[in-house]
Chains A and B, each alone.
Chain A
Amino acid sequence: MQSAMTKKEIIKELKVTAIENGTVIDHIPSHSVHQVIRILNLTDYGDQLLIGINLESRKMGKKGIIKVSNKYFKPEEINKIALVALSATLIVIRNFDVTEKKQVSVPDQVEKIVKCFNPNCITNHEEMPTRFTVMDKKELKLRCRYCEKITARDNIVFL
């Protein structure tokens, strides 16, 4: 009983630990948390960064959460993570208040962050950004603007 209470308290603590200013990314699939950190370039982040993995969630069973102090993301930056964490919620905090809350969404175009899986595609041989049109947001099928091949969820590698 005692230990369950403590656990609950810890979870509660984690959920509500207020950051004064910054961004909370909630409802990340636990296994994608590390990828999200990499995609958002937070590996060497200099300010406070709170990371929770396998936290209890009513919605998801288990979830991950990342709280980034003193950092706000542009929509095109944050939507990149939709490729690995479609369920994620973005919460913007200013002066301890939630000023914005929204779902991330798979963008129509994916630029610069995904590698084309076709080894003979020009993007893998020339210094140039990759560009994909998202053909299927649910199944994550990305069609390369250049070689016209489909890079699917299982083949996605981030640059």
Chain B
Amino acid sequence: MNTEAAPITVDAPNFTAAADHEPSPDPGLRIFADRVAHLYRQSNAGILLTLLVGAIITVELWTPRYRDLTIMWWLITIAITAARYALYRSYLQRTDHDEEKWLRWMAIGALAAGVNWGIAGAVFFPSHADDQQVFLAFILAGLISGGIAVFASVWWTYALYAAGIMLPFTYVLATFGNRLFAELAMLVPVFYAANIAVAYRLDRVFAAGFKAREDYRGVAHEQELMNVQIEEQLQELLNARREVEASGRKLTLFAERAPIAVLEFDANATVLEMNPAAENLFGYALGELVGRNGLQMLFPADDFGVNESWWHDFVSGVKPATLSRLRCVRRDGLEIMCEFTFTPLVNDEGDVISIIAQGRDITQQLEAERLKKEFTSTLSHELRTPLTSIIGSLQLINSGVLGDVEKDVIELTTIAERNGQRLLDLINDLLDIEKIESGKFTLAPEIVSLDSVLRDTLVLNKGFADRYNVRLALEERLTPARVEADPKRLVQIVTNLVSNAAKFSPEGGTVDVTLQVNGERARVGIHDRGSGIPDTFRARIFSRFAQADSTATRQKGGTGLGLAICKRLIELMHGTIGFEDRPGGGTTFYFELPVMGDKANNALAQLGAVQ
């Protein structure tokens, strides 16, 4: 609640506007309180003076004739003075902020003091000799003018005080019967008025003075607050500078240790700075390149890549640019292929102040990619061509069209054909996964009836399942479901899952194939009664070359790529694939594909009707 700091300049703490309390938030009230406080402060001097003057009067005017009267007056004076002192004490120890009340009491005190002096004048003046009358008149005049100093901070308290003295005394003068005194009585109100005017002016001066002090307090307080703020801001600036310095050091460290080449250019392509990796990349030492034109030194002068016109467009475009195949020239004249990102740094006015280039040598990477591509192409053609002859020959023998062959021979040629086929599957799988992972794989999606794909694929795989003496059982009433998918790849996925299930089923077992449509997704389930998926294998079942154990490869065949391919293919078709334990033993592999909406279904139905 206290929005102000402690009062700043005060003569004595007890005379502050609030001794034990917070000062009033209203500046007008605070000034008023200051003026009341001043009254009380001065009243102390007034009390002392009253006792002193009272004592002098008593002594000077003492006569046995008026003994009782003088003693009574003196007692009254002491009583009033004691009361005023008590008021003064209680003001010092006040716990409230009711300044109006304290002023009222002070005014009553002033009136009482004034009236006391007035009575002294009225009683003692007529009863004493001429010289004593002059003495009394002077004393009273002195008391009237002295009161200005005591009461002027609130002028009307002085008016009450002075009126208290003047009215009884004037009355005595007027009724004394002396012409001179009568004239004096007529002049007294004039003096009174003049004194009131002076008191009033002083009152205003006091008010202005207190106001000035109050204003000064405000200004001083604001300045103090401002100082605190400035101090805080300075501290923040200091902290910010430390942070900037720290991050600068960090950045330098990053750049120095980074394996990426980092260069800084100005807007005219002059090299400003480079890190050790950039020195290694280009074969120049820092000193050989800094201050030189980067375009002439680092890039071949041709129509492609980073040249004058490219640089000009880049700087005026003020956007980062990445060049994934940028030819660069080393110090030894060797050309290297790099990947570079250029980032312009812009000031508040939008001017490019420097350009940061980050890059690396990708020559070897490109060579590796080229080799990989070549290898893939070799796999694709050079391996398949001899396999065509091998598998073709064996198949012709095994099919029996060439006539009867001895049983042992057929057995061996069947083994050879099967393994040839296995080799071919491996090659096909490798090619598939390579294409998918290099992003070169394209699907040929169309609207497919998932139920018919399942029917056809199961027919295709019957022969394979027969070899393991496993029955493939398709759900009797298949829910029709239309999906957008590549039909050839869908057959590949189902074949893979069904043949896996058949391979791992116990002899004489059944692989159940189901199709459910749940809202917007169709779910194909392939359920076997095999021994389940070992715990250690679960996490990596969809990764490449994943097989539960290598003996299975020899016993059951397969490349360990099938599920990896299935997963990627299904994901390319916006579906999901997974597996779960089948209640009662075995495993369920499933995949889900988004079902086509009614619109597509209708379109398909119409298409069917036309055909």
Q: Do A and B form a real pair?
A: no
Measured CB to CB, the residues of B under 8 A from A are none
Binding site for B on A (CB under 8 A): none
